Structure 1
Amino acid sequence: MKDTHRVVPAEPTPPEPSIDTALSAVRLLHAATEELFDAAAERYGINRNDLRCLEILEREGPLRPGRLAQASGLSPAAITKVLDRLEQAGYVTRSGEGGDRRTLQVRTSDRHARMRRDTWRPVADLAAAALAELSDRQLEDLIAVLTDLAEANRQSARRLRRP
């Protein structure tokens, strides 16, 4: 008579929390974010530098081209090309007083606002749903850790830029 008992494999146990597993999760989030930014840039016919400059303008508001170059780490010549592309695509406007280029300001447009809403609102909704599962204490801890990781990245970028 055959044995009819089957051994059911145990559920794999998740790895023990460790610095290495946390760093792996951070790398996974970073890779997924890069993939998202690439897809957004491709969808709207712009490149990653263009998208980064739009994000800076969203965060900081209207800027002079020189300040945008500084904030993005791009050269003034590169910013001119970025702004030409973004203006041609209808995502920014450039305006100043008269012909005085010193007063020129770059602003995001209504078309950009629609693109932002259509692209990033669903992303924010999904993230908010995941974060809603956390307790207030967990949210506080997550905010602190993410803030510290962002500062670690900024410090690392400054170190890499040193001669």
Structure 2
Amino acid sequence: MTGVPEPAVEVVEYTDPLCPWAWGSEPVFRALAAALAGRVRRRRVYAVLFDHDDDPPPDPAAETAWYARHVAEISTHTRAPYAVTLSRVAASSWPASLVAKAAELQGAEVAERVLRRLRESVFACGEPADTAELALSAVRGVPGLDPARLRADAAS
């Protein structure tokens, strides 16, 4: 017990590492966290925007072109950068969500860096981290990250 009371307010962020709205709102949440540091509890909950059970698109190229336009439109609202070329629409955001959640076990700073890298995979590089291997590869080299532990925790 430190004698410091637990904050009475909790801010819950529902997010998906591969969601363009989440990508665009990241700076707002970062500023909110800094402004309210110590005064609120912050909790991140991962939702899954892209799921393995979704029907495959009849025309993957057309689906990718539509989604790229959709991301560009969202960017007009959020002012977030986005990849000029998108290789494909993510098949699943489960792997990236599992990796992001597992990274929380290595501390808040590592978790923030991992989530940022996962988001950058699609919105900066145009290659969604939509498999376990791609998600783990996208976060390789994050300072302070134990990759073996991350792999094990994400698979558990």
Name the one with the larger helix percent. Answer: 1
Higher RCO, 1 vs 2 (CA within 8 Å, ≥6 residues apart): 2
- Report if TM-score (shorter chain) is over 0.5: no
Q: Which has the larger radius of gyration?
A: 1
Q: TM-score range by the shorter chain?
A: under 0.3
- TM-score using structure 2 length: 0.28
